[in-house]
Amino acid sequence: MALLEIRDLHATVDEKPIINGLDLTIGAGEVHAIMGPNGSGKSTLSYVLTGREGYEVTGGEVLFDGKDLLDMAPDERAREGVFLAFQYPVEIPGVTNMNFLRTAVNAVRGHRGETPLDPMDFVKYIRERTGDLNISDDMLKRSVNTGFSGGEKKRMEILQMAALEPRFAILDETDSGLDIDALKLVADGVNAMRSPERGMLVITHYQRLLDYIVPDHVHVLANGRIVKSGGKELALELEEKGYAEFLEQAA
Amino acid sequence: MPDGSTNLTPFLDAARDGAAAFAGAGTGWVDALRRTGADAYGAHGLPRRQDEYWRYTTLNALAEGGFPLAAAGSVPAALPDAVPAIAAWRFILVDGRFAPSLSGLDGLPSGVEIASLAETLAHEPHKAEPTLGRVADLAAMPMVALNTAFLGDGLFLRLGPGIALDRPVHLVSLTTGGAAPAMIQPRHLVVLGDGATATLVETHVATAGGGGFTNAATEIELGAGARLHHFSEQGEDTARVFLSGTSVALGAASTYDSFVLQRGARIGRSEIRAVLGGPDAECRLDGIYLGAGEQVIDNTTYVEHAAPECRSRQVYKGVLDGFARGVFQGKVLVVQDAQKTDGHQLSRALLLSRDAEIDARPELEIYADDVKCSHGATAGELDETAMFYLLSRGIPAAVARRMLIEAFLSEALEEVAGETVAEHYAGRIRDWLAANVADGDAQ
């Protein structure tokens, strides 16, 4: 059984159709990349899969591990193992990273029938996962993403992923706003999470990220559906030719 | 003006009729002060919407009168759990009367007086005479005028010059809810000599439901360089009408630092009027209020910069759920001579339901030309983006809402960080959130 199966998905935002009959199957252990121009529906897809308010599903179905994903509340999806690394991580003044991370990890652990971690054990748990992400104690004590640089925010997203150990992770434009060193750091963090049990969907506008997170499959999204699929070489082809050709095909 | 057709001056007869039996009756200035209070209240009557400082809170619930002065009730054997156990000089009022058996005032350092105001008026009225009734502006505060007509029991705290009190003074006001809803008119007087320092913690809680009416008045006089930290928690029964009027006179280079947590009462109102009367004085008024059901919670402030080079800062933050209504009226007046004034004021409210409401009116009135003043008011709902971010990490909706509300309040709560009451207040806020922001709430 596939880890994630999207069948003929249709979705609207403010009653405007954005996703128009999207099919995609991702197996455990696979990394898929979705590429597409601005406005093709990339971010909408990530929000539909994670259940954000205002993203209305008007047709089709999504099965996660055989379960109806669209029937679950956003927090339930996350506890079942769906994770979204945000393109623009949200600043939450007044909530410390440690409190945020521990509340989230314990919610997920509780769902898996594992015992919650007390603050002492949790510090250890997080330290085991910061790895090479270059995350200081000071960053962990500060409010969630508040005053963080673009690179710091993206590193924190990867730390959250490492802490929550999702079974399916969506990385939405994780490369945006990063210089090459920061990009490598984040990509290393993502690659460390690749495993036979875990699926990933990497959403990106540029091919550059895929030099560092090498996908098993590449899909081109245009006008809310996948217009071409292929191996990692498809990304290079796109980089060379641009999206115009595919947009014509989709029209 | 009272016109006789409806009762615009409830409780006035009770005050006048009872005056001969009140504490200190027979002492000329005490009798005269009560008459002044009665006359001021009689001339004005119960506050109405036309009154500048009562625009959003009506006292129709009091127009029928109907609350007799609370009789001396039985004093509980111990303080209820709702009262924080802090190491302090303990001054306990039960239904508005000093309760020595629950209080802890043995071994006060010299230069420090903590006593019952009623006993002071009865036995040593000269101690209160220089200050009592002289700080409050009775024309501006009609309910304080009514309190003055009753001039009853309460805390009398006096520190001699240069005294730094070693522990906070904990003023606990318990309402026990007698056979029928009754009224208390507590009166507090705080006088800090030049350079004296003290912390005053007030806790207002009910030991039983049933409603009633509290009309508290506090006068505070701070000598040159004196510092008072003043914390107040209003956790009254949600059927009660609770009004508190605090008047502060700040001397040169003195500091008044106030934090008010209001979470109880059907109508809960904290009014603070501070006059910065000497150069280099500093006044901080901060507060958090939590309203649910049909509560009305009112924070009204008036800060007068009457001398140059003074600073004032106000931050009030509230969370309102259900049909609750919040009121913030804050006025900063800077007189012509008060150059180099630094005055800031901020009101922020979080509305958790469609039916909750906040009426905010921040106001600056400035006659000096070299000042730094600002004010602002915001009202809004929980941020959808932040909410989704927390949900997307698996945090259940109710927990996420509580986290965001606590975060919203944290800025105001930082004002009490490190103080003895900080953990208690944070716990009170968590209790309120647990009771009012439940799993079943709509997002």
Question: In one letter, which amino acid is B26?
Answer: G
Provide, as residue numbers in chain A, all residues whose Cβ is less than 8 Å from the Cβ of B389.
86, 89-90, 92, 144
Give residue B210's pLDDT: 82
Q: What is the mean pLDDT of chain B?
A: 94
Half-sphere exposure in the Cβ direction for B281 (13 Å, CA): 31
- pLDDT value of position A72: 98
Q: What is the mean pLDDT of residues B229-240?
A: 96
Q: Tell whether B389 lies on the interface with A, counting CB pairs under 8 A.
A: yes
Nearest one of B327, B328, B325 to B295, comparing CA atoms? B325
Q: What is the pLDDT of residue A242?
A: 86
Percentage of the residues of chain A whose pLDDT score is greater than 90: 89
Residue B279 has pLDDT above 60, yes or no: yes
The answer, for A55 touching chain B at a CB cutoff of 8 Å, is no
- With CA atoms as reference, the chain A residue closest to B388 would be A52
**Span A1-27, average pLDDT:** 97
* B37-85 pLDDT, tens digit each: 999 999 999 999 999 899 999 998 898 878 999 988 889 999 999 999 9
B342-379 pLDDT per residue, tens: 999 999 999 999 999 999 999 999 999 999 999 999 99
- pLDDT value for B178: 73
Query: Which tokens sit at B254?
Result: 């003195």
Average pLDDT over residues A1-19: 96
pLDDT over 90 percentage in chain B? 89
Residue scoring higher pLDDT (B90 or B211): B90
What residues of A are in contact with residue B386 (Cβ under 8 Å)? Answer: 90, 92
Q: What three-state secondary structure class fits B422?
A: helix
B426 in contact with A, Cβ within 8 Å? no
Give me the mean pLDDT over the B309-313 stretch. Answer: 98
What is the gyration radius of the CA atoms in chain A, in angstroms?
Answer: 18
Instruction: Output the pLDDT for position B280.
Output: 98
B277's CB contacts (< 8 A; 6+ apart) are B249, B250, B251, B252, B306, B307
Question: Would you say residue A251 has pLDDT above 70?
Answer: no
pLDDT in tens, A152-184: 999 999 999 999 999 999 999 999 889 999 999
pLDDT at residue A249, as a whole number = 67
pLDDT category at A205 given cuts 50, 70, 90 is: confident
Contact B391 A74 (CB under 8 A): yes
Assess whether pLDDT exceeds 80 at residue A122: yes
A171 contacts chain B (CB < 8 A)? no
pLDDT band at B442 (very low <50, low <70, confident <90, very high): very low
pLDDT, one tens digit per residue, over B242-262 is: 999 999 999 999 999 999 999
pLDDT by residue (tens digit) across A88-118?
Answer: 999 999 999 999 999 999 999 999 999 999 9
pLDDT at B3: 47
Give residue B7's pLDDT: 77
Indicate yes or no: CB of B394 within 8 angstroms of CB of A104: yes
Residue B411 has pLDDT above 90, yes or no: no
Distance separating alpha carbons of residues B170 and B179, to the nearest angstrom: 28
What is the model's pLDDT at position B180? 85
On whether any CB of chain A is under 8 Å from the CB of B390, the answer is yes
* Of the partner residues A79, A89, A94, the one whose CB lies closest to the CB of residue B410: A94
Q: Which residues pair with A222 in a beta bridge?
A: A225
Residue range B101-109: mean pLDDT, rounded: 96
B139-148: per-residue pLDDT in tens? Answer: 999 999 999 9
pTM of the model: 0.92
Q: Look at residue B2 in the predicted model and tell me its pLDDT.
A: 45
Which residues in chain B have Cβ-Cβ distances shorter than 8 Å to A161? none
SS3 labels along B20-77: HHCCCCCCHHHHHHHHHHHHHHHHHCCCCCCCHHHCCCCCHHHHCCCCCECCCCCCCC
* Cα atoms in the Cβ-side hemisphere of radius 13 Å centred on B343: 33
Q: Greater confidence, A250 or B193? A: B193
* Percent of chain B as helix, strand, coil, to the nearest 5: 20, 35, 40
The whole-number pLDDT of residue B339 equals 97
In this prediction, residues A31-49 reach a mean pLDDT of: 95
Average pLDDT of chain A, as a whole number: 95
User: What's the pLDDT at B393?
Assistant: 98
Interface-testing mutation among A55, A95, A105, A109, with chain B (most B C-beta atoms within 10 A): A95
Measured distance CA(B108)–CA(B129) in Å, rounded: 22
Q: Which residues of B touch A111 (CB under 8 A)?
A: 394
pLDDT exceeds cutoff 70 at A217 = yes
